[in-house]
Amino acid sequence: MSSHTLIPETTGQTASPSLHDQVQIALAIADETLLKSLLLNCTPPIAQPHFLGSAISRIGIPTPDGRSVDGVIQFELVHCRLANSQDDIERQFAIQGDRDRRERHYAQITRCESETQTLGQNISLAQSLGLLTQAGFQVDQVQTILNLPHEACHKSWWYMLDAQGHFSLPFRRVLRTRRYADGTFTLHYKDHFL
């Protein structure tokens, strides 16, 4: 058997990788499940599972002194969630009647509104699909949103955090889509609070 300093000698046993090596592997392959596990299973946990959104990594980041950082995990903390059942929230308000009557009632109870925010500007179809799916919209809702007429909007109910850290405070999000001739999209939204 040849011996070389670059070729490790094998003894027939496979050693499990050290924690440092596991971290390096997780960062290198950027598997979102592994990245989230690193954030959730450390002591103390960096994030709670129900607040953790997407996670990505960057490795070998140069520093001003010429060295490099092994890696950085960037993660999203979720502050609001799309309601599972839009009908359940609408039933809470006990409004009967046609769509116009319901819309007038919602306008009365949602007197506070946010500034218009940009979810994505001049982004590709794939990026638009990814953003809307990550937000929690179902495939049929995504198709509806991306194919809205120019002046139309998509309205959905969401929950934001209450004082105890639970997603229980409903608000309404109005989403507008602009589709351009080059195939890109711009997505804007405005929130209306109770």
pLDDT tens-digit series, residues 141-194: 999 999 999 899 999 999 999 888 888 888 999 999 999 999 999 999 999 988
73 located within any domain: yes
Instruction: For residues 100 and 176, state if they share a domain.
Output: yes
131 & 90 share domain: yes
Q: Which of 77, 112, 147 is the last residue of a domain?
A: 77
Residue 152 placed within a domain: yes
8 is a domain residue:
no
Residues 60 and 106 in one domain: no
The more confidently predicted of residues 168 and 29 is: 168
Percent of the chain predicted with pLDDT > 70:
89
In the predicted structure, residue 45 carries a pLDDT above the cut 80: yes
Q: Which of 33, 59, 77 is the last residue of a domain?
A: 77
Q: Which residues contact 144 (CB under 8 A, 6 or more apart)?
A: 154
Query: What does the alpha-carbon distance between residue 34 and residue 84 come to, in Å, rounded to a whole number?
Result: 26
Q: Mark 137-173 as b/e (b = at least 16 C-beta within 10 Å).
A: beeebbeebbeeeeeeebebbbbebeeeeebeebbbb
Pair (36, 114) in one structural domain: no
Question: Is 38 a member of any domain?
Answer: yes
Domain containing residue 106: 83-193
**pLDDT in the model for residue 1:** 47
Do 88 and 46 share a structural domain? no
Same structural domain, 157 and 96 = yes
pLDDT, position 31: 78
Residue 6 maps to a domain:
no
Q: End of a domain among 42, 77, 112?
A: 77
Evaluate whether residue 125 is within a structural domain.
yes
Q: Is residue 11 part of a domain?
A: no
Tally of structural domains, the chain: 2
Which pLDDT value is given to residue 120? 96
> Higher pLDDT residue, 188 or 108?
188
Tell me which amino acid residue 180 is. Y
Higher pLDDT, 51 or 99: 51
Question: Which pLDDT score is estimated for 6?
Answer: 44
pLDDT at 56: 87
Q: Over 60: is that where the pLDDT of 9 sits? A: no
Within this chain, do residues 57 and 105 fall inside the same structural domain, yes or no?
no
Peptide bond preceding 49: is omega within 30 degrees of 0, i.e. cis?
no
Average pLDDT, the chain: 84
Residue 33: what pLDDT?
87
Report pLDDT for 96: 62
Residue 55: pLDDT over 50: yes
Q: Is residue 40 part of a domain?
A: yes
Residues with Cβ within 8 Å of residue 45, at least 6 apart in sequence? 39
Number of Cβ within a 10 Å radius of residue 46:
14
Residues 95 and 127 in one domain: yes
Q: What is the DSSP letter of 41?
A: S
Alpha carbons within 13 A on the beta-carbon side of 99: 1
